[in-house]
Amino acid sequence: MKKTLMRGFAGLAILALGVWFMNGLIGMKGTPPVKPRPATARLVKTMVAAPDTWRPTVELEGRVQALDRVTVFSEVNGMLPLGGKEFREGVRFEKGEVMLSLDDAEVRANLVAQRSQWIQLLAANLADLQLDFPLRAEVWRAYVQGIRADEAVPTMPEADSDRERLYLTSKGIVSGYHGILAAQERLDKFQIQAPFSGTLTMANVEPGSMVRAGQPLGTLIGNDQYEVKAAIHARHLSVLSEGDSVTLSEASGKVVARGTVARIAGHVDEMTQSAGVHCQVRAVNGATLRDGRFLSGKASGASVNDVVPIPEELLEGEGGVAVYQVVGKRLSMLPVTLIHRDADRALIGGLEGGEVLLAEPVSGAFEGMLVEPVIR
């Protein structure tokens, strides 16, 4: 037992001695000198700031809508006859042209009968008018002779005195006249005229069908004036104002319409933080605008002086209020004023002409970084 313990202590002692000896050898070795790594300049593209006058732009996209649009209703019942210019989708009508002409034979015949009865009433009272109003008898006689049962009633002569007015009223002449006017107005409603030049985009009735009062018959849209409603972010509202120019393009990039900002909504959507902008536009370059077509483009705001356009990704700092400039081949952070930011460009102010700025983002850039500038 004692021999085993002695052997164990001897092994530990030898191990400790070996460790002490090894540490001594290691300590005798000198620390190699550390050579500083030479700094290398990074090649970067730069541009020279040249403040100038620029117009901020706002991206727009929306669908074309006809400015003139009306739903056609009928105020009377009637049959839509066959023949003539038919009321069908895609048919164009000029302003004042009859779009619909319902069968009015029965109403027209009743109106002729009503006029005939009124002429009879006037003729029966001519003798009394001659006795009671001798100075006015010739006026009424000429008026009665000028009335035709199959034509619109001419304007009735004004009464020359209260006595004459009461006489005409008591005999039912005044009420008969206004009754005929109402019947003539109703007859006019059997023909529906186009309020403006346009094209039917929807027709709910066909020739030969029965039309009911209050029934929507179709939709007429104008072909001359169009507008595009677009939604822009609230931060761009301070840039745009009514009258600013607008350019719209199709998917291929070809400009098809130009116009101006007509209206700007006064309310900002609380969910999207956007507001509606209505732009009145007209086709250009022989293009054709159609209701419902999707277009995109830009609206240009008022000119801003002493600004420099740069790619948006060059903005640094909280909220993008600084850019990197090159001073003595080293990067330095330069505070700027952000005037406007659109989809891929920012307009910044607060720069002096001749300052050298980064022209493209540099990964890992930091203030004091050694660079080799190359003017773009």
SS3 string, the chain, reads CHHHHHHHHHHHHHHHHHHHHHHHHHHHCCCCCCCCCCCCCEEEEEEECCCEEECCEEEEEEEEEECCEEEEECCCCEECCCCCCCCCCCCEECCCCEEEECCCHHHHHHHHHHHHHHHHHHHHCHHHHHHHCCCCHHHHHHHHHCCCCCCCCCCCCCCCCHHHHHHHHHCCHHHHHHHHHHHHHHHHCCEEECCCCEEEEEECCCCCCEECCCCEEEEEEECCCEEEEEEEEHHHCCCCCCCCEEEEECCCCCEEEEEEEEEECCCCCCCCCEEEEEEEEEECCCCCCCCCCEEEEEEECCCEEEEEEEEHHHCECCCCCEEEEEECCEEEEEECEEEEECCCEEEEECCCCCCEEECCCCCCCCCCCEEEEEEC
pLDDT-based confidence at residue 9 (cuts at 50, 70, 90): low
pLDDT-based confidence at residue 316 (cuts at 50, 70, 90): confident
Count of domains observed in the chain: 4
User: Average pLDDT, stretch 118-126?
Assistant: 92
Residue 135 covered by a domain? yes
What is the predicted pLDDT for the residue at 19?
A: 61
- End position of a domain, from candidates 300, 323, 350: 300
Residues 151 and 83 placed together within one structural domain of the fold: no
Residues 212 and 280 placed together within one structural domain of the fold: no
Single pTM value for the model:
0.64
Residues 229 and 246 placed together within one structural domain of the fold: yes
Question: Residues 128-186: pLDDT tens digits?
Answer: 888 889 989 899 999 999 999 989 999 999 988 999 999 999 999 999 999 999 999 99
What is the predicted pLDDT for the residue at 8?
A: 60
User: What is the dihedral angle through the alpha carbons of 164, 170, 171, 173, rounded to the nearest 10 degrees?
Assistant: 70
Residue 319 covered by a domain? yes
What is the predicted pLDDT for the residue at 28?
A: 59
Question: Residues 261-274: pLDDT tens digits?
Answer: 999 988 898 898 89
Residues 99 and 194 placed together within one structural domain of the fold: yes
Residues 97 and 194 placed together within one structural domain of the fold: yes
pLDDT-based confidence at residue 221 (cuts at 50, 70, 90): very high
What is the predicted pLDDT for the residue at 84?
A: 77
Q: What CATH number does residue 355 fall under?
A: 2.40.420.20
Residues 109 and 179 placed together within one structural domain of the fold: yes
Count of CA atoms in the C-beta half-sphere (13 A) of 253: 0
Distance CA(75)–CA(72), nearest Å, equals: 10
User: Average pLDDT, stretch 309-314?
Assistant: 88
Residue 158 covered by a domain? yes
290 near 64, Cβ under 8 Å?
yes
Containing structural domain, residue 327: 44-54+305-375
Residues 326 and 366 placed together within one structural domain of the fold: yes
Residues 128 and 251 placed together within one structural domain of the fold: no
- End position of a domain, from candidates 268, 300, 332: 300
Residues 311 and 369 placed together within one structural domain of the fold: yes
Residue 32: pLDDT over 60: no
Q: Which two tokens stand for residue 278?
A: 């209505």
Residue 5 covered by a domain? no
Residue 81 covered by a domain? yes
Residues 48 and 78 placed together within one structural domain of the fold: no
Residues 183 and 110 placed together within one structural domain of the fold: yes
Residue 14 covered by a domain? no
What is the predicted pLDDT for the residue at 340?
A: 86
Residue 321 covered by a domain? yes
Question: Residues 62-93: pLDDT tens digits?
Answer: 999 998 999 999 999 988 888 778 888 989 99
Measured N-to-C along each axis, helices 173-188 and 162-170 cross at an angle, to the nearest 10 degrees, of 70
Residue 1 covered by a domain? no
Residues 295 and 277 placed together within one structural domain of the fold: yes
Q: What CATH number does residue 87 fall under?
A: 2.40.50.100
If one counts every other C-beta atom within 10 angstroms of the C-beta of residue 277, the result is 25
- End position of a domain, from candidates 235, 266, 300: 300
Residue 345: pLDDT over 90: no
Q: What CATH number does residue 236 fall under?
A: 2.40.30.170
User: Average pLDDT, stretch 196-207?
Assistant: 89
The DSSP bridge partners found for residue 306 are none
Mean pLDDT of the chain: 86
